[in-house]
């Protein structure tokens, strides 16, 4: 892995979020120029200010837009490319469960919305980014332990992240001839707004030690460190690395009998009325 990213440029979608901003900071620390993309310009501006305070003299730009709109992503890719005449890294962090409910209580629209947010956004980032990566580089997606472990009331999210895991391997194979590596991280419980909303305050605060062998939720900085590794790992592609405190080791055992209790949910009664 290269220890210096001087002269390299990265685009981070979801760049104002916890993992996105932490990743941007980690790339800046090693000298990369970074473009942050997210929907809300005020949050992007605030994230940029925090990064510049932490890394004076760093090159940080923003591009407001929706990761589900190809034109918005293309514009962000253009902003990134213009910074130093190249694009080396695309880090796609947009995702989220969009609430909890039994799988068969979803309608087509709500199911599709979760797929789009987690999988289609990754595809768009890949599709728009790869043609501008003329000198090769690295694409890193943010998957989830839910891509490997079934999680009650998160069916569409599990399906989307499972699809993302497959996308990584196919894209890695196709992009290898372009010297572009495609990998992913699978975070577990992480102290970030999206994960907190997914699992709830009670689990994040009180039950994390039971769920995570290394004890307690992780920090976005830990996920960012793994993303930085994958971005610069020149001989590694098609891989997905769990950054989860060991939770995949224990998750099935814990959740076999406790999912409904952990998530504060119950199957609707009568069940037949919900179908």
Task: Give catalytic residues, as residue numbers.
Answer: 157
- In this structure, are residues 151 and 159 in contact, taking their beta carbons and an 8 Å threshold? no
Residue 205 dihedral angles phi and psi, to the nearest 5°: -90, -40
Instruction: Name the β-bridge partners of 241.
Output: 185
Beta pairing class for 180-187 and 89-92? unpaired
DSSP classification of residue 208:
H
For residues 201 and 265, give the distance between their C-alpha atoms in angstroms, rounded to a whole number.
Answer: 14
For residues 158 and 144, give the distance between their C-alpha atoms in angstroms, rounded to a whole number.
Answer: 8
Q: How big is the chain by its Cα radius of gyration, in Å?
A: 19
């Amino acid at each position: 892995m290269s220890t210096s990213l001087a002269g390299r440029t990265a685009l981070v979608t979801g760049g104002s979020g916890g993992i996105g901003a932490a990743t941007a900071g980690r790339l800046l620390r090693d000298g990369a120029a970074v473009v942050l993309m997210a929907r809300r310009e005020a949050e992007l501006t605030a994230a940029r200010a925090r990064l510049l305070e932490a890394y004076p003299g760093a090159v940080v730009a923003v591009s407001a837009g929706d990761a589900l709109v190809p034109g918005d992503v293309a514009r962000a890719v253009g902003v990134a490319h213009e910074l130093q005449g190249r694009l080396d890294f695309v880090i796609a962090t947009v995702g989220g469960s969009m609430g909890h409910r039994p799988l068969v209580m979803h309608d087509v629209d709500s199911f599709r919305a979760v797929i789009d947010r987690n999988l289609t956004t990754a595809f768009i980032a890949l599709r728009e980014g790869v043609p501008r990566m003329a000198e090769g580089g690295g694409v890193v997606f943010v998957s989830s332990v839910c891509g490997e472990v079934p999680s009650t009331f998160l069916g569409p999210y599990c399906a989307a992240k499972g699809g993302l895991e497959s996308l990584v391997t196919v894209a890695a194979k196709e992009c290898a001839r372009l010297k572009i590596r495609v990998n992913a991280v699978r975070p577990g419980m992480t102290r970030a707004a999206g994960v907190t909303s997914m699992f709830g305050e009670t689990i994040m605060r009180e039950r994390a030690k039971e769920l995570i062998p290394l004890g307690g939720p992780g920090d976005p900085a830990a996920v960012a460190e793994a993303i930085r590794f994958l971005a610069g790992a020149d001989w590694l592609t098609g891989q997905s690395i769990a950054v989860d405190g060991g939770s995949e080791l224990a998750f099935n055992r814990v959740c076999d009998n406790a999912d409904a209790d952990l998530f504060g949910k119950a199957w609707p009664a009568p069940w037949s009325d919900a179908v």
